[in-house]
Amino acid sequence: MAMTMTQKILAAHAGLPEVRAGQLIKAKLDMVLGNDITSPVAINEFTKAGFDSVFDTTRISLVMDHFAPNKDIKAAQQCKQCRTFAHRFGIENFYDVGNMGIEHALLPEKGLVGPGECIIGADSHTCTYGALGAFSTGVGSTDMAAGMATGEAWFKVPAAIRFNLTGSLQKWVSGKDVILHIIGKIGVDGALYKSMEFTGEGVASLSMDDRLCICNMAIEAGAKNGIFPVDQVTLDYVKGRVNRPFQTYEADPDAEYEQTIDIDLSAITPTVSFPHLPENARTFDQIGDIVIDQVVIGSCTNGRLSDMAVAAEILKGKKIAKNVRAIVIPATQEIYMESMRRGYLETFIEAGCVVSTPTCGPCLGGYMGILAEGERCVATTNRNFVGRMGHVDSEVYLASPAVAAASAIAGKIARPE
């Protein structure tokens, strides 16, 4: 039976010769991920179930990134619980203040996830790692608890939608614009429990950061996962990072897809998703004067080095508009350090921005950039639901780092020139 790329990975991890869409399987896991918000719930379930060991101390990652450095007593208690658990069971991949980063940028950077692997995380944006040719998906904290104990998880095999990419991106257009364009086209439930499989000659023109961003937001279209084929870009990225054997998979030529959607990358222009859903995507011929109060450049979607580089290029020698707060958050310590070496942080600060230690912070309305009533923010984050970044009467506009930086200078939503 012909299978998609995702189905092949799931079949291999289930020890089956083949799987089909809708089939329930139990698959072995290569990595189980949790953060300071979701891990305490999983740890409680782990304890309640009576587990007294983890399946592999090297295949669990606990990353303190949402409210770390701790913003209040509750956050401190949550991190302490994770810290105690990691110490008790000897979990090697525990990342705390000083060596942590935003989880979905940190794990690929550290080589903890790789091609052909099966990964779950108690965070919906775990689908990010499909950029490396892995099957990765978000799960609940109970599934995380079971995964930590047994190294296995149950899945319903997803059907697939194929996105045939052609052409290459224009200047100032990035993976963020691509995924916002796609979500605008198919809607927030357009790929509900489907695998979004990206193929075509246009794939080669996309950087790894573009792919990570695109897969990160597959969940915003309702998808179970997003996935790219393993090519030279992938192999170059994992070289020196993933220091263990890995298996690559290709979809069969006659694999079954529910539909194929053609995307001409060269036709995509800077795109902004208006409140209060990612599907409310607009291009600049549809955007009027939208005055803003805040800009956030960072997150697991757009806090990587290339994102810092684009923002710095636009902000170099400029000042952000009066009455605009601009917050820049490099996604990991390594990205922070390299941004410092390249002078990006100096550029940001001279422009009037504040630069934060790595944190998810403002993305989920946690801290480091909460919005007040009536305020508007252009953010490179991934969600703009009602109240996502603060007050229920605030507004979040999703955009690329290029649009966010240009908007910070203009004081309104602006196209980078």
pLDDT at 417 over 90: no
Encode pLDDT of 221-232 as tens digits: 999 999 999 999
Clarify whether residues 22 and 74 are in a common domain. yes
| Domain count along the chain | 2
Average of per-residue pLDDT across 100-114: 97
Which pLDDT belongs to residue 198? 98
Q: What is the pLDDT of residue 336?
A: 98
Q: Where is the domain boundary, 264, 288, 309?
A: 264
Residues near 252 by beta carbon (within 8 Å), at least 6 away in sequence: 2, 3, 4, 8
Dist CA 347 CA 212 (whole Å) = 25
Instruction: Examine the domain organization and report whether 256 and 282 are in the same domain.
Output: no
52 and 77 share one domain:
yes
417 lies in a domain?
no
pLDDT in tens, 324-376: 999 999 999 999 999 999 999 999 999 999 999 999 999 999 999 999 999 99
Beta carbons within 8 Å of 134's beta carbon, 6+ residues apart = 9, 30, 113, 114, 115, 116, 117, 118, 119, 227
Same domain, 239 and 295: no
Mean pLDDT of 395-406: 98
Core vs surface per residue 154-163: b (16+ CB within 10 A) or e: ebebbbbbbb
The reply to whether 203 falls in a domain is yes
Per-residue CA distances from 9 to 5, 119, 150, 234, 362 (Å): 6, 11, 19, 17, 35
Considering the domain architecture, whether residues 49 and 177 belong to the same structural domain is answered as yes
**Would the pLDDT of 163 be above 90?**
yes
The answer to whether residues 135 and 6 touch, using CB atoms and an 8 Å cutoff, is yes
Q: Does residue 56 register a pLDDT over 90?
A: yes
Averaged pLDDT for residues 164-169: 97
Percent with pLDDT over 90 in the chain: 99
246 and 360 together in one domain: no
Share of the chain above pLDDT 70, in %: 100
pLDDT for the residue numbered 152: 98
- Domain interval for residue 204: 5-264
CATH number at residue 342: 3.30.499.10
Q: Are residues 280 and 238 in the same domain?
A: no
Asked if 364 and 245 sit in the same domain, the reply is no
Q: Residue 183 falls within a domain, yes or no?
A: yes
Token digits for 39? Answer: 């891990």
In a domain, 416, yes or no: no
Give the pLDDT score at 52.
95
Same-domain check for residues 99 and 248: yes
Q: Which of 239, 264, 289 is the last residue of a domain?
A: 264
Burial 370-388 (b: 16+ CB within 10 A, else e): bbeeebbbbbbbbbbeeeb
Do 321 and 229 lie in a common domain?
no
Question: What's residue 1's pLDDT?
Answer: 82
Burial class (CB in 10 A: 0-12, 13-18, 19+), 341: exposed
Residues 244 and 367 in one domain: no
Q: Which of the listed residues 218, 236, 264 is the one where a domain comes to its end?
A: 264
The CB density around residue 393, as the number of other CB atoms within 10 Å, is 12
Q: What is the pLDDT of residues 261-287, one digit of tens each?
A: 999 999 999 999 999 999 999 999 999
Average pLDDT, the chain: 97
Are 50 and 105 within one domain?
yes
40 has pLDDT over 90: yes
- The confidence score (pLDDT) of residue 347 equals 98
Domain membership flag for residue 415: no
